[in-house]
Amino acid sequence: MCELLGMSANVPTDICFSFSGLRARGGRTGPHKDGWGMAMYRDRQVWSIHDPRPSADSDMAEVMSQTSLKCDIVISHIRQANVGNVCLPNTHPFSRMLWGETWVYAHNGQLEGSDKLALDHYHPIGSTDSERAFCWILGRLAARYGDQRPSLEVLSSFLYELTSGLKQKGVFNMMLSDGDSLFCYCTTKLHWITRRAPFKKATLSDEDVSVDFKEVTTDKDVVTVIATQPLTEDEVWNQMEEGGLCVFNAGEVVFKRNTV
């Protein structure tokens, strides 16, 4: 399996504290040593890093855990390979263009029969079931809405349909973004926390690192962090519902649907 980390914030915010915790699980406190990647959006433009090395040992991951690059949305992933070799083209997150925006996606889980997902416009370059499912999702969106991007509500409802379909094939925890919203779907494990004033101190579970968010925020900041497992030991994280889609925008939940 793998672990996911996401962030949605209403002001450009750095991810280095949370990434330090995630990074340790990539070969030190966790077994997810088959590469890591990160996509960071600011003002809807995204930059990305991909490294097939264990994040715990990676010099590049060390740089990223110490560098306070500010962004609005982050999707990061540490991999424990099931399907597909350990190599750059199989390293999440994946990206493609749709409706003039760069969509980024990462997946935790495994899908049975993903090779039967019919593809049209989008094709994988690697050999993971994850990338194939991403290509299928974007292909479905393009087929349904053509060049015309639907409203966030309509889009989220249809994404819920698509992701619920993929849930039938196995484990499908995923994060997807167009640079505006962060779409998170959970079939087994995703946790999230929204930090806002009054901010407090937090301590990582995987590293001996604390941060007092009061010192690095203003009263207006709203920052949501989503992760496979809670990253801090002294905060209460929400568990996402199994079979639930949760959409975050500027740090707030803007759409939620689940099977219950």
- Longest CA–CA span in the chain (Å) reads 51
Which residue in 23, 32, 79, 96 binds a second copy (CB under 8 A)?
A: 96
Which residue in 2, 23, 30, 51 binds a second copy (CB under 8 A)?
A: 51
Q: Which is nearer to a second copy, 63 or 154 (CB)?
A: 63
The token pair at 198 is 């009054």
Is 2 an active-site residue?
yes
Query: Is 99 one of the binding residues for a second copy (CB under 8 A)?
Result: no
2, 135, 186, 246: which one is catalytic? 2
Question: Which residues in the 55-94 window bind a second copy by CB under 8 A?
Answer: 58-60, 63, 67, 69-70, 85, 87-89
Alpha-carbon separation of residue 47 from 5, 161, 175 (angstroms)? 16, 29, 16
Q: How many residues bind a second copy (CB under 8 A)?
A: 29
Which residue in 31, 126, 150, 165 binds a second copy (CB under 8 A)?
A: 126
Instruction: Give which of 8, 1, 119, 23 is closest to 71, Cα–Cα.
Output: 8
The burial class, CB within 10 Å (0-12 / 13-18 / 19+), for 16 is: middle
Q: Within the chain, where are the H helices?
A: 16-24, 59-66, 129-145, 152-167
Query: Is 216 one of the binding residues for a second copy (CB under 8 A)?
Result: no
Query: Is 150 one of the binding residues for a second copy (CB under 8 A)?
Result: no
> Three-state DSSP class for 207?
coil
Query: Is 49 one of the binding residues for a second copy (CB under 8 A)?
Result: yes
Query: Is 97 one of the binding residues for a second copy (CB under 8 A)?
Result: yes
Instruction: Give which of 211, 151, 208, 173 is closest to 75, Cα–Cα.
Output: 173
Smallest distance, a second copy to C-beta of residue 254, A: 24
Residues counted in the chain: 260
Query: Is 11 one of the binding residues for a second copy (CB under 8 A)?
Result: no
Query: Is 53 one of the binding residues for a second copy (CB under 8 A)?
Result: yes
Q: Which is nearer to a second copy, 21 or 54 (CB)?
A: 54
Decide: 37 and 50 in contact? Cβ < 8 Å: yes
Residues designated as active site: 2
